[in-house]
Chains A and B, each alone.
Chain A
Amino acid sequence: MNMQQQIQQPETGYLPGDMALWYFLCAELGVFALLIAGSALVRISHPDLFQSGMAVLHPLAGVINTLALISGSYCVARAVICVRHQSPLAYRFFIATALTGMIYISVKLWEYQSLLSDGYSLHYDAFFTFYFLATFFHFMHVVAGVVIVLIYARALKKNGRNENSISHSESVAAYWHMVDLVWIVLFPALYFMRG
């Protein structure tokens, strides 16, 4: 198998990105798992709070944000493929990823502003404690994701591709997918799930 084939077709059992990063991602997923498990416990004891809390959220904003993050995942995956193929389009796909993240940030900030101005906050009730805690923690991860993607895109443009580029771009993408994955679980759990 020549080098080009190796780049295009990673072998079975291949771990994208860096091993150390996977420890970090698992730990991060653990935090969100705890938050979701905690909210499930409170939901069992206070189903009425969850029903009334969900009723005042903005599902359309959630849908827009879901589409934004999934589009971001598509862009970052394309960026990794471009890095593997040594295509100059990688930079543009990374920038597009960051833009989708910025859409998420803008919509989420509007949502927070709207809820806070209506008097809902972290200590309004148990539902909003979890809503603000889980979504704000996730929001900070999106902000970090945008910063990481932009820093990496700039470094890629400035220094060009080197022997570590594939691993680095996969690490950036793995982080982004983790943020996306968490939202795909959080969104229905906080906005729609009844009963």
Chain B
Amino acid sequence: MKYQSQAVAKPYFAFAILLFIGQIVFGLILGTQYIIGDFLFPEIPFNVARMVHTNLLIVWLLCGFMGATYYLVPEETQCELFSPKLAWILFWAYAIAGTLTIIGYLSVPYATLAEITGNDILPTMGREFLEQPTITKVGIVIVALGFLFNVGMTILRGRKTVINMVLITGLLGLAVFFLFSFYNPSSLTLDKYFWWWVVHLWVEGVWELILGSILAFILIKTTGVDREVVEKWLYLIIGMALISGILGTGHHYFYIGTPDYWLWIGSVFSAIEPLPFFMMMVFAFSMIKQRRREHPNKAAMTWASACTIMAFLGAGVWGFIHTLAPVNYYTHGSQITAAHGHLAFFGAYVMIVLAIISFAWPQLNGRQSNSPAAQKVEIASIWVMCLSMLAITLLLTAAGVIQVMQQRVPADGIAIGFMATQDLIVPVYWARLVAGMAFTVGVFMYLASFLVAGRTRDQAPALAANA
């Protein structure tokens, strides 16, 4: 690594991977509970397992974004981080608060957790993805402020590039939109309306800025293509992502009590949401084609290029499948949504965090890349994870189609009930569980690549002093 302060990225990456493993474990528990309803009941009920699964995802991705920022910003600004000490303090604050929150979810009933954490003073709990106790939310805001201060001061005194400008804009947006999690109106329509300002404007808005900037950074470093070319693509992708993503929020405002014009706004603008992801894919492969160097880290390049394909499929294609209002009328909240959610989060955000870890981790350990043997295992793990996630997505889509055809489309009196439909889908859920296990094998292979990298360290290309 070029700058000593980049080393603070390491604990963030390590903690992110740890939480990722936790998320997968709870994913397997949930997959089993879809088939055996009382599996691990009453210790881990379905609602708790689901909350832990989704919250762990958000927490580890945020942790990965922070690690990526601490790694990327010193190189882009060409100066040391403003305060590595602050980054360490914030890491421990984040890790402790995150761990305590998960322990809280698992050890006491959710209502008790709300009571003991003083939710009645400022009620913010009880909403999907934003289940964190209010004090945890306050902690997240404090960590975010400290993090933005640290990164902002570094950028202010260093070189300003398009990459770090887009990144800091994305991070600022992430912090600002999180503030809407404190707004909890009693009207269910208003509640949902602003809830999406956190959830949608994160994942289909500002997170895309973070994704784009990390991807651009990896491509500049691994392909050696002119920064100007990469930055031009980044501008256009971000422009398109914001044009489609902001008004695309409308696809969440169908049939929830909002005015009818949202049916058109949501349908039209979310129909073009696949385009920035398509552009991202063209961008990545065109940069790789025009590359001016053969970077030894093939695994990082595989993560980055595969990320754009999977993001296009998951966020783009699977998003489009059910985004038009007349379709969404039937598919809303079905397993088709779950299929889209899984592939989109994995393709767009899990893979970009794993891509930057794959690129940065060897450099943080004094090597340009891992040994060829370690990369072989890592690339195999990418294939296993991608293929099994595609299988999960296809199976959940099949489950969703059954659900829509049996439960939603038929007229009243003919349509069968929710639980009866679930019984029909059980064989598909079995297959999904098998695919989930295959994904877990991929995760273990990924972890094994770190062990192989350690064992074959002497075969890895050393990092030049000024590389």
Instruction: Give residues in A with beta carbon < 8 Å to B.
Output: 18, 20-21, 23-24, 27-28, 30-31, 34-35, 38, 122-123, 129-130, 133
B279 contact from A18, A24, A38, A133, Cβ within 8 A: A24
- Which of chain A's residues have a CB closer than 8 A to the CB of B232? 18, 20
Q: Are A31 and B261 in contact (CB under 8 A)?
A: no
B260 contact from A35, A38, A123, Cβ within 8 A: A123
Q: How far is the CA of A23 from the CA of B236 in the complex (A)?
A: 9
Q: Are B268 and A23 in contact (CB under 8 A)?
A: no
A130 contact from B233, B264, B272, Cβ within 8 A: B264
Which chain B residues in 241-270 approach chain A with CB under 8 Å?
243-244, 259-261, 264-265, 267-269
- Interface residue total, chain B, C-beta cutoff 8 A: 23
Q: Are A31 and B268 in contact (CB under 8 A)?
A: yes
Q: Are A123 and B268 in contact (CB under 8 A)?
A: no
Q: With A21-B236, A27-B272, A34-B272 given, is the CB distance from A123 to B283 under 8 Å? A: no
B271 contact from A34, A130, A133, Cβ within 8 A: A34
Q: A24-B279, A31-B272, A123-B261 are in contact. List 9 more A-B contacts (CB 8 A).
A: A23-B279, A30-B272, A31-B243, A34-B268, A38-B267, A38-B268, A133-B261, A133-B265, A133-B268
Q: Are B275 and A27 in contact (CB under 8 A)?
A: yes
B267-306 vs A, CB cutoff 8 Å, 1 = contact: the mask equals 1110110011011001100000000000000000000000
Who on chain A is nearest to B279 by CB?
A: A23
Taking the nearest CB of chain B, how far is it from the CB of A34, in angstroms? 5
Taking the nearest CB of chain B, how far is it from the CB of A186, in angstroms? 14
Who on chain B is nearest to A37 by CB?
A: B268
Taking the nearest CB of chain A, how far is it from the CB of B432, in angstroms? 34
The interface residues of chain A, by DSSP majority, are classed as helix
Q: Does B240 contact A (CB under 8 A)?
A: yes
The interface residues of chain B, by DSSP majority, are classed as helix
Q: Are A23 and B243 in contact (CB under 8 A)?
A: no
Q: Are B260 and A20 in contact (CB under 8 A)?
A: no
Q: Does B454 contact A (CB under 8 A)?
A: no
- Which of chain B's residues have a CB closer than 8 A to the CB of A122? 259, 261
Taking the nearest CB of chain B, how far is it from the CB of A80, in angstroms? 18
Q: How far is the CA of A27 from the CA of B240 in the complex (A)?
A: 8
Which chain B residues in 326-347 approach chain A with CB under 8 Å?
none
- Which of chain B's residues have a CB closer than 8 A to the CB of A28? 243
B282 contact from A23, A30, A31, A130, Cβ within 8 A: A23
- Which of chain B's residues have a CB closer than 8 A to the CB of A23? 236, 278-279, 282
Q: How far is the CA of A130 from the CA of B267 in the complex (A)?
A: 13
Taking the nearest CB of chain B, how far is it from the CB of A139, in angstroms? 14
Q: How far is the CA of A129 from the CA of B260 in the complex (A)?
A: 9
Q: Are A30 and B275 in contact (CB under 8 A)?
A: yes
Taking the nearest CB of chain B, how far is it from the CB of A171, in angstroms? 9
Q: How far is the CA of A122 from the CA of B240 in the complex (A)?
A: 24
Q: Are B236 and A31 in contact (CB under 8 A)?
A: no
Q: How far is the CA of A130 from the CA of B268 in the complex (A)?
A: 11
Q: How far is the CA of A21 from the CA of B283 in the complex (A)?
A: 12
- Which of chain B's residues have a CB closer than 8 A to the CB of A35? 268
Q: Does B239 contact A (CB under 8 A)?
A: yes
Sorted nearest first, the 8 A-B pairs with minimum C-beta distance are A27-B275, A24-B236, A129-B261, A34-B268, A123-B259, A20-B233, A31-B272, A20-B236
Who on chain A is nearest to B267 by CB?
A: A38
Q: How far is the CA of A65 from the CA of B276 in the complex (A)?
A: 31
Q: How far is the CA of A31 from the CA of B260 in the complex (A)?
A: 19
- Which of chain A's residues have a CB closer than 8 A to the CB of B283? 20
Taking the nearest CB of chain B, how far is it from the CB of A42, in angstroms? 8
- Which of chain B's residues have a CB closer than 8 A to the CB of A130? 264
Who on chain B is nearest to A32 by CB?
A: B268
Q: How far is the CA of A83 from the CA of B244 in the complex (A)?
A: 33
Q: Are A133 and B264 in contact (CB under 8 A)?
A: yes
Q: How far is the CA of A27 from the CA of B277 in the complex (A)?
A: 12
Taking the nearest CB of chain B, how far is it from the CB of A113, in angstroms? 20
Who on chain B is nearest to A171 by CB?
A: B232
Q: Which of A23, A123, A129, A133 has the most CB of B within 10 A?
A: A23
9 contacts between A and B (CB under 8 A): A23-B278, A24-B236, A27-B240, A27-B272, A31-B243, A31-B244, A31-B269, A38-B264, A122-B259
- Which of chain A's residues have a CB closer than 8 A to the CB of B278? 23
Who on chain B is nearest to A22 by CB?
A: B236
Q: How far is the CA of A18 from the CA of B236 in the complex (A)?
A: 11
